Amino acid sequence: MDWDKLRIFHAVADAGSLTHAGDTLHLSQSAVSRQIRALEESLNTTLFHRHARGLILTEQGELLFDATSAMSKRLETASARIRDSEEEVFGELRVTTTTGFGSLWLAPRLPALYKKYPDIKIDLMLEERVLDLPMREADVAIRMKEPSQADLIRKRLMHIRMRLYASPSYLAQNAAPERIEDIAGHRLICQNPQSAQVGAGANLVQYLMTHDIRSTLTVNNYFGVLQAVLHDLGIGVLPDYLTHDFPELVRILPDIESVDVPVFLAYPEELRQSKRVGAFRDFVQEEIISYRKQMKDQELT
């Protein structure tokens, strides 16, 4: 196939409009239309359904768009690796992690990375869905379990546990439970056990729910759980990495906690030499070391 026609097709499919694609490509609408028509003729198929509001991909068009999207991501990676120099770290780095860890632990620490590498561009993708790193859906992942995908470089960063916390003002108005049975008289704030989350957290919540909890608030990420706890709504199931940045949290029922949850950093083998990936990896590891030291000092005091 003609690479130039594929590039134009990808822009049109992405924009959903000949005009918008032409603006992006600095081509006239008629020139873009001719290229699409020529591509359809060469493939002997229709790639777009045309209607008054724009263009919709046909089934064949969807297949081709999946292919050009993968090609585009590969080309972006190759271009980025070529631009990487020995001395400089710049360009875009797509990082994926969970909403809770990304918003509550990682994002507050990113100023240190930008201070060291002001030209780097982080695209932080926070979601529970595990993105496909070999297919270039992201460059680096931080996940709460070891990645199962092949051809990945992975490093275990630390482990966390899910525990019970409440705010001081909530406890001033409500007696802290002394036994697990006492939790039935409190509002439990947690992730829905059926939502996408680490199994250890879901198992802990399921166990707590067996004690006839009178009231619950479920949120689909730990950021929301934390906000509810800080606003005195009840006792929350939260990851223990929050206790350093939110020292006002009071731990409830210290004997109740989840099993260890490993935290892994992973990236594709093909990005082993990427300066951006290396800079981000080293930054996270340094922050983990600092975090561990601060937590140890906090425990000693």
Q: Summarize pLDDT for 57-103 with one digit per residue, the tens.
A: 999 999 999 999 888 888 877 776 666 554 567 788 999 999 999 99
Cβ neighbours of residue 91 closer than 8 Å, sequence gap 6 or more: 80, 83, 84, 119, 120, 121, 276
pLDDT at residue 128, as a whole number: 84
What pairing do the DSSP bridges indicate for beta strands 120-126 and 235-239?
unpaired
pLDDT at residue 300, as a whole number: 66
Which pTM does this prediction carry?
0.70
Secondary structure class of 158 (helix, strand, coil): strand
Dump pLDDT digits (tens) for 129-160.
888 888 888 999 999 988 887 789 999 999 99
**Which two tokens mark 55?**
């263009």
pLDDT at residue 230, as a whole number: 97
What mean pLDDT is reported for the chain?
89
CB atoms near residue 283 (< 10 Å): 18
What pairing do the DSSP bridges indicate for beta strands 261-268 and 91-97?
unpaired
pLDDT at residue 62, as a whole number: 92
Q: What percent of the chain has pLDDT over 70?
A: 94
Work out whether the CA dihedral 281, 282, 283, 289 comes out positive or negative.
positive
Secondary structure class of 9 (helix, strand, coil): helix
168 vs 170: CA distance, rounded Å: 5
pLDDT at residue 86, as a whole number: 47
**Stretches in the chain below the pLDDT threshold 70:** 1, 80-88, 196-197, 299-301
213 vs 26: CA distance, rounded Å: 62
On whether the CB atoms of residues 69 and 7 are closer than 8 A, the answer is no
